[in-house]
């Protein structure tokens, strides 16, 4: 009599980098959220080791669901907030940013070895909080009768991750302190517009995200400053040079000076950002 086949349970990674790669490769939204939450819990419990020798997952292997359909930013339709669909489109855009932000934090964990333990503490925490932000936006979308994937989106955040894959200093400058810092600038206006449209629940959810995103950008500031010190570079000059190189120096006004200060921008940087803003 043959012994019935029993599937072996899936072996969980024992290294932080391996666990980050597992979460990063997940294509199903729920799988990515669950793997990210598991990674954070295991890291904080001391169940994962740091393996700086593990080869990073290739950018093209990063998992994402088949929807939303990715298009050029210029191809995204502009919708007013006077309709439910218009408000849902705005929330969907934020949800897509948060989904990409999960991958960006996971990628920082698994790609850049040899950093202090506190670096991985920061980006594991950020990954877990970005997962919570995504869920906040998804819940609001569902209340409005939509879900993640129902609207087209663009891939700008992940494209910046790809071009900074070989340089952690550039990654810290251009993702948390570049694209994500723009979220600090524009989110207060989105909150006000949602309140004016009568969607106070969505405005409150964005307020939670804004408060916590200050800490995420601050983590980028912390490690950008650390790397500038390691390489004996002037932080303000290096930051503006990278913005001009990779983002063509474009920075539309307004700039959220108060939250950028809380997120670790110094006055020299803010002065130069104000000049860039005036040039647009």
pLDDT of residue 3: 40
* Mean pLDDT of all residues in 245-272: 88
* Distance in angstroms (rounded) separating the CA atoms of residues 66 and 194: 29
* Mean pLDDT of all residues in 180-185: 94
The per-residue pLDDT for range 88-141, each reduced to its tens digit, is 999 999 999 999 999 999 999 999 999 999 999 999 999 999 999 999 999 999
Residue 256 lies in a domain: yes
Q: Which domain holds residue 219?
A: 16-64+79-279
Domain total of the chain: 1
Residue 6 lies in a domain: no
Q: How confident is the model at residue 4 (pLDDT cuts 50, 70, 90)?
A: very low
pLDDT of residue 249: 61
Residue 8 lies in a domain: no
pLDDT exceeds cutoff 80 at 155:
yes
* Distance in angstroms (rounded) separating the CA atoms of residues 260 and 219: 12
Q: Which of 247, 192, 203, 251 is nearest to 94 (CA)?
A: 203
Residue 72 lies in a domain: no
**Which residues, 6 or more positions from 177, have their beta carbon under 8 angstroms from its beta carbon?**
217, 220, 221, 224, 239, 263, 265
Assessment of whether the complete model's pTM goes beyond 0.85:
yes
User: DSSP characters for 126-180?
Assistant: HHHHHHHHHHHHHHHHHHTT--TTSS-B--HHHHHHHHTTT-HHHHHHHIIIIIH
Average pLDDT value over all residues in the chain: 90
User: DSSP characters for 99-125?
Assistant: HHHHHHHHHHHHH--S--HHHHHHHHH
Report which DSSP code applies to 44: H
Q: Is the peptide bond before 68 cis (omega within 30 degrees of 0)?
A: yes
Cα 225 to the chain's mean position, in Å? 19
* Distance in angstroms (rounded) separating the CA atoms of residues 116 and 217: 18
Decide if 52 contacts 18 (C-beta within 8 A).
no
Q: Which of 250, 224, 219 is nearest to 237 (CA)?
A: 224
The per-residue pLDDT for range 37-91, each reduced to its tens digit, is 999 999 999 999 988 777 888 777 788 999 999 888 877 878 888 899 999 999 9
Dihedrals phi, psi of 175, to nearest 5 degrees: -100, -75
Residue 146 lies in a domain: yes
pLDDT of residue 9: 41
Residue 240 lies in a domain: yes
Residue 196 lies in a domain: yes
Domain containing 256 — which CATH number?
A: 1.20.1260
Q: Which of 39, 63, 22 is nearest to 126 (CA)?
A: 39
pLDDT exceeds cutoff 90 at 196:
yes
What SS3 class is residue 86? helix
Q: How confident is the model at residue 280 (pLDDT cuts 50, 70, 90)?
A: low
Q: How confident is the model at residue 154 (pLDDT cuts 50, 70, 90)?
A: confident
Angle, CA of 262, 122 and 44, to the nearest 5°: 135
The per-residue pLDDT for range 201-215, each reduced to its tens digit, is 999 999 999 999 999
Residue 4 lies in a domain: no
């Amino acid at each position: 009599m043959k012994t019935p086949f029993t599937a072996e349970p899936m072996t969980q990674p024992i290294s932080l980098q391996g666990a980050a790669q597992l979460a990063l490769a997940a294509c199903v939204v729920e799988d990515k959220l669950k793997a990210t939450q598991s990674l954070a819990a295991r890291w904080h419990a001391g169940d994962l080791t740091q393996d700086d020798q593990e080869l990073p997952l290739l950018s093209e292997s990063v998992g994402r669901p088949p929807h939303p359909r990715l298009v050029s930013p210029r191809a995204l339709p502009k919708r007013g907030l006077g309709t439910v669909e218009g408000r849902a489109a705005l929330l969907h855009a934020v949800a897509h940013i948060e989904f990409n932000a999960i991958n960006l934090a996971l990628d920082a964990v698994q790609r850049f070895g040899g950093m202090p333990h506190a670096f991985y503490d920061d980006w594991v925490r950020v990954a877990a909080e970005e997962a919570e932000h995504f869920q906040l936006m998804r819940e609001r979308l569902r209340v409005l009768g939509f879900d993640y994937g129902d609207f087209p989106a663009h891939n700008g955040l992940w494209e910046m991750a790809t071009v900074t894959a070989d340089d952690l200093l550039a990654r810290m400058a251009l993702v948390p302190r570049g694209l994500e810092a723009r979220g600090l600038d524009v989110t207060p206006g989105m909150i006000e517009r949602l309140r004016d449209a009568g969607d106070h629940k969505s405005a409150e959810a964005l307020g939670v995200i804004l408060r916590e995103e200050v800490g995420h950008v601050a983590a980028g500031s912390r490690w950008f400053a650390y790397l500038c010190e390691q390489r004996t570079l002037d932080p303000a000059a290096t930051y503006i040079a990278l913005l001009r190189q990779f983002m063509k120096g474009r920075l539309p006004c307004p700039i959220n000076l108060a939250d950028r200060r809380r997120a670790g921008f110094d006055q020299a940087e803010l002065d130069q950002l104000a000049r860039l803003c005036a040039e647009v």
